[in-house]
Chains A and B, each alone.
Chain A
Amino acid sequence: MDFYRAQVLCCGGTGCTSSGSGEIIKRFEEQIVKFGLDKEIKIVRTGCFGLCAAGPVVIVYPEGTFYSHVRVEDVDEIVSEHLLKGRIVKHLTYQDKERGEEQHLSLESIGFYQKQKRIVLRNCGVIDPENIDEYIAFDGYKALEKVLTSMKPAEVIQVVLDSGLRGRGGAGFPTGLKWKFAAASKGEQKYMVCNADEGDPGAFMDRSVLEGDPHAVLEAMTIAGFAVGATEGYIYVRAEYPIAVKRLEIAIKQAREYGLLGKNILGSGFDFDISIRLGAGAFVCGEETALMASIEGMRGEPRSKPPFPAVKGLFAMPTNINNVETFANIPQIIINGADWFRSIGTEKSTGTKVFALGGKINNTGLVEIPMGTKLREIIYDIGGGIPGGKKFKAVQTGGPSGGCIPAELLDIPIEYDTLTQIGSMMGSGGMIVMDEDNCMVDIARFFLDFTVDESCGKCTPCRIGTRRMLEILDRIVNGKGVEGDLEKLERLGRNIKATALCGLGQTAPNPVLSTIHYFRDEYEAHIRDKRCPAHHCQALLNFYITDKCRGCTACAKVCPADAITGVVKERHVIDTTKCIKCGSCVEKCRFGAIEKR
């Protein structure tokens, strides 16, 4: 193995790639050759570091210098100053907004990382995901070796049971129990399936694991295959994740070459192989029975349970299916033991959970925290609070299946059961922060719109019920709500929850029910007073020019309806009867003089 005096880690996750990290990596490679440093310095394209808001991200080791918002034109300076002369380019390093002028030069010292505990993401942003040797150097395949050489299948299952690990896809079913059922099932062939159909809009942790540490998933699936007696595995991954698919393909190929997949793995006599199946853009395929129908080449429609997949799953054979993040925990649990895993998190929710933090928050990105951490800590200590000095209103977890959590509940610990109790759910890990400008009725409408779009149409409550709910919500945000709408929504919601066929329908009313529960006054303002308290719903707003107006005439010129009149250098006026509420004037005004009321 070659030795390098410094390593430059460039984030090759989707977020940073979108903002041009590919070009940055290319430039680094060109520059180190130009200065003759290519034998001394290694450029590594890693997976996601997590702090997407600061992307594209570059980290230089051994110092651990953290460069953020790097542009291609910054590369030359980093190479000539830092890599050649050893002088850190301070003006390009990450600046912690909270702490002002103080300069934080290393990754570990940043507030964003301090409260995190990285088990699932431990290799993301650290290793080159396209190189199996780097994974092995970080204890990769050590768990598989331990399992195949010194453990019986039942012992493996017991460790997972004892660890208390619960499904990270959202519902939180104990993983060990799932394995136990699949192991106990009889069938001429058993299957191991990894659910990587991450469809929750605003959640991307599974993708980051696949992009940043694909071997961890392969290793875990092989361990699980050994435990339940499956010899064939499938990874069902969204086609919308091209980087993840590519890295999985590379990882599978390398693992086969190393004898870590295929026949007689590590000489143990155990055979296991994995193939990839691509999703085709149907959210419902995240539901396990729909996912299996899709692998079988059919419409991805769910079916009723029982029989559970452990008894009759893929191709009518016993099947175990887990989510990416669940699998990514397995190798660490095997190496460090169930007691170690239990020592993290809370009694009923052990270990950590990865969240995709987004929306109105300063530090957008991926965070992994021990279970039991308070929402407040995630949003303020790790997330860095709300941008622009705005007031926090709610945080949404669980995506289209979850609910909105208001400010007064920010001190609850994050656990499966507490989140369910307050009308939300853990979900796969999307965590979207909303501030005072977000209208909760509109957010509920947004999620319902998503569900209606993605409902497969097989069962009536979901196909028709969610549509009726959406129609009512549409009416409310357009100022046409009537007394009794809320009661109708609640009754419909309860009925859909009780009667829909699969998890998609059973949880679809949650965003509506939770917002009605916690933000009833906002709904009532829309219905009774025809007013949107967040000043968001266009149909309920009137635009108004305040005395900040300098009479620059920009608004009058841009108004497509000629609704604004006024003389130069004098305050203008909007004729609300002509105004079509397009908002063009607000965007144009440089003095912040136009308000929505």
Chain B
Amino acid sequence: MTEQKDKFAKLQEAIDEHKGQKGALMPVLQAAQSIFDCVPLDAQEYIADALGTTLSDVYGVATFYSQFSLQPKGKYVVGVCLGTACYVRGSQKVLDRVEKELGIKVGITSKDGQFTLQATRCLGACGLAPVMMVNDEVYGRLTADEIPSILEKYRD
């Protein structure tokens, strides 16, 4: 419970930093996303109160942008790039293989909370296409066959 308290204290700090500033909601939500690893409903209510706006406004913004999620993500976020350069070089096959190996579809977090699978749009490493990221680690020039051994490293 104290952990939760700490998080709200941190959120309050972020609110204090941005309150009164024009367009404060976005940076505050971005702070909330990084503090809670998502923007849970109670945090949204808290933000709405603190910034003097309504929950519907906060919820509207939180659900508009793909960076904000309402549920926590898995321990490892696997992002397969589906930018054009990667797609043209066969990233769909890589993604299909990751889905098969992890047993989850894009946008889903595995039941054990270990993996979240995302299809991202251009990581900007087009020279390495096709590319996949696991948290901050980048894997480039991939073939579908390499996927099992890469994912193996992240299974606890």
Say if the beta carbon of B72 comes within 8 Å of chain A: no
- Whether a CB of chain B sits under 8 angstroms from the CB of A434 is yes
Question: Interface stretch among A26-34, A294-302, A411-419, A541-549?
Answer: A294-302
Complex alpha-carbon distance, A280 and B67, angstroms: 5
Q: Given that A315-B22, A583-B93 are known contacts, is A204 also in contact with B67, CB under 8 Å in the complex?
A: no
| 9-residue interface stretch from A13-21, A71-79, A372-380 | A13-21
Q: Is the CB of A359 within 8 A of B85?
A: yes
Chain B residues in 8 Å Cβ range of A324: none
Contact flag A364-B85 (CB < 8 Å), given A19-B140, A281-B65: yes
- Interface residue A446 (Cβ < 8 Å from any Cβ of B): yes
Q: Which of A46-89 contact B (CB under 8 A)?
A: 52-53, 55
B125 is an interface residue with CB less than 8 A from chain A: yes
Closest to B138 in A: A18
Stretch of A157-165, A195-203, A220-228, A337-345 contacting B (4+ beta carbons < 8 Å): A195-203
A299 with B127: in contact, given A19-B140, A583-B93 (CB under 8 Å)?
A: no
* A520 smallest CB distance to B (angstroms): 21
Interface string of B60-98 (1 = CB under 8 A from A): 110011111000000000000011110111000100000
Within 8 A of B (CB), among A298-336: 298-301, 315
Tell me if B131 counts as interface (CB < 8 A to partner A).
Answer: yes
Task: Say how far A236's CB is from chain B's closest CB, in angstroms.
Answer: 10
Count contacts between A and B, CB distance < 8 Å: 134
Is A278 within 8 A of B30, CB to CB? yes
Q: Are A358 and B129 in contact (CB-based, < 8 A)?
A: yes
B131 with A18: CB separation less than 8 A: yes
Asked whether, in the complex, the Cβ of B128 is within 8 Å of the Cβ of A202, the reply is no
Provide the residues of chain B in CB contact with A450, threshold 8 Å: 121
Partner of A446 from the list B29, B87, B140 (CB cut-off 8 Å) is B87
Contact yes or no, B93 A358, CB < 8 A: no
Q: Does B156 contact A (CB under 8 A)?
A: no
Decide if A497 is an interface residue (CB 8 Å cutoff): no
Verify if B145 is at the interface (C-beta below 8 Å from A): yes
1/0 per residue, CB under 8 A from B, across A388-429: the answer is 000000001001000000000000000000000000000000
Interface size bracket, A side: 35 or more
* Contact call A358/B126, Cβ cutoff below 8 A: yes
Q: Mark B109-127, 1 if CB is under 8 A from A, else 0.
A: 0000000000011111111
Residues of A within 8 Å of B64, CB to CB, are 282, 299-301, 456
Distance in Å from the Cβ of B85 to the closest Cβ of chain A?
3
Whether a CB of chain A sits under 8 angstroms from the CB of B151 is: no
- Give Cα distance in the complex from A281 to B69, angstroms: 11
Is B103 engaged at the interface, CB distance under 8 Å to the other chain? no
Q: Are A280 and B68 in contact (CB under 8 A)?
A: yes
Chain A residues near B (Cβ < 8 Å): 14-15, 18-19, 52-53, 55, 199-204, 207, 239-241, 277-283, 294-301, 315, 356, 358-360, 364-365, 396, 399, 430, 432-434, 438, 443, 446-447, 450, 456, 583, 587
Known: A19-B128, A296-B22, A359-B89. 13 other contacts (CB 8 A): A52-B125, A201-B87, A201-B121, A278-B27, A280-B30, A280-B68, A300-B64, A315-B22, A358-B127, A364-B126, A396-B84, A432-B84, A446-B84
- Offer 20 A-B interface pairs, CB within 8 angstroms, sorted by A: A15-B124, A18-B138, A201-B83, A201-B85, A240-B123, A278-B26, A279-B67, A280-B65, A282-B65, A282-B66, A283-B121, A297-B23, A298-B61, A315-B22, A356-B126, A358-B84, A358-B126, A364-B129, A432-B84, A587-B144
